[in-house]
Every structure is written in structure tokens, then in C-alpha cells.
């Protein structure tokens, strides 16, 4: 059955049985993926949770940002980010610096130790992915990467599109 646009104007589509089954499979497999990612994060570096790893990665990618920006980007509660930031500060992986344009604002940045640990964990994670995907044909890898990018690029309802 071909997909048809919903009459409510949301742009979402009605799906046939195969499409709905595929969506259920995707949801289940993404949940398994998330659980495994959290579990493997502890094995990569015992002091660095998956949340901490992603926050450090975001800070590196952005060259620093405010804690409120982290909360907004990851759709996390500010108190959750605050606890994570405090733990990363105690571990001397991040530091606060005053924003040169607005001295009332504190910007989070990686420390040298934070950069080193992030690089180590990133390389360990890449090695694990390379091992797991070693027998995939290159065209499948390229297609999978494109699908993941497409999925993650879709704006969330709380974001400006």
C-alpha cells in the first residue's frame, strides 16, 4: 500500500503493514543499540559514562559551550547536565572560562586531560565499530552512515527547524 500524507497536515504518513512492522523493528533495534552503547561506554573507560563521553565530544566539536547549550542540544534536564558537568569538573576533564564577549557567561572547555581521555575512548569506540562492521560491504557502510545521518538530522519538535 503506498504511503499517503495525513490529513492533519503533520506531514507524517500512513504506512502499510510492512512499513509499520519496519518502524517497530527500527524502534526495537535502536533501543538495543542504545543499551549496548551505554554498557560498552563503561568498558571503554570506567570513569566515563556514555553521557559524559557525548558531552565531552560536543564540547570538543564546538570549541566549548555553556551548560544550558548542552542541555538544549541533548534535550536533557538542566539538573542532569549540571550533575554531569560537576562530575567532569571534579575529574579535571573540563573547566569553566568566562566568555570574552560577556563576562557574566561561563563557557565549558575541555582540559588537556579531557582531550586525552576523549581521544583514547574515541579510538577504542572506533576500533570496536570497525571490528563489528569488518565484514560489511563498503556500499552497505556508506548507506548505513547516510541513513543514520538522515535520521539524526531530522529536527526535534523543540528545535528550530
Q: Which residue has the higher pLDDT, 40 or 87?
A: 87
Q: pLDDT tens digit string along 27-85?
A: 999 998 888 877 776 666 667 788 888 899 999 999 999 999 999 998 889 999 999 99
Contacts 24+ apart (CB under 8 A), 87-90: 87/52, 88/52, 88/55, 88/56, 88/114
Angle at 113 between CA 108 and CA 124, to 5 degrees: 105
Query: Which CATH number describes the domain made up of 15-130?
Result: 1.10.10.10
So where are the chain's domains?
15-130
Please choose, from the candidates 72, 90, 98, 85, the residue with its C-alpha nearest in 3D space to the C-alpha of residue 159. 72
pTM: 0.73
Angle at 145 between CA 143 and CA 146, to 5 degrees: 65
pLDDT at 7 over 70: no
Amino acid at each position: 500500500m503506498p504511503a499517503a500524507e495525513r490529513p492533519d497536515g503533520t506531514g507524517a504518513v500512513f504506512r502499510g503493514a510492512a512499513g509499520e512492522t519496519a518502524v517497530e523493528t527500527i524502534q526495537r533495534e535502536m533501543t538495543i543499540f542504545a543499551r549496548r552503547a551505554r554498557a560498552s561506554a563503561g568498558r571503554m573507560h570506567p570513569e566515563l559514562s556514555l553521557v559524559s563521553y557525548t558531552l565531552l565530544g560536543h564540547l570538543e566539536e564546538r570549541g566549548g559551550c555553556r551548560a544550558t547549550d548542552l542541555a538544549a542540544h541533548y534535550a536533557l534536564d538542566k539538573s542532569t547536565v549540571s550533575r554531569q558537568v560537576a562530575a567532569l569538573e571534579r575529574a579535571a576533564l573540563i573547566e569553566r572560562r568566562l566568555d570574552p564577549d560577556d563576562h557574566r557567561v561561563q563557557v565549558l572547555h575541555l582540559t588537556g586531560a579531557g582531550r586525552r581521555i576523549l581521544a583514547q575512548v574515541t579510538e577504542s569506540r572506533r576500533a570496536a565499530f570497525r571490528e563489528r562492521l569488518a565484514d560489511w560491504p563498503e556500499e552497505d557502510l556508506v548507506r548505513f552512515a547516510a541513513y543514520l545521518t538522515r535520521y539524526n538530522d531530522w529536527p526535534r519538535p523543540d528545535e528550530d527547524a
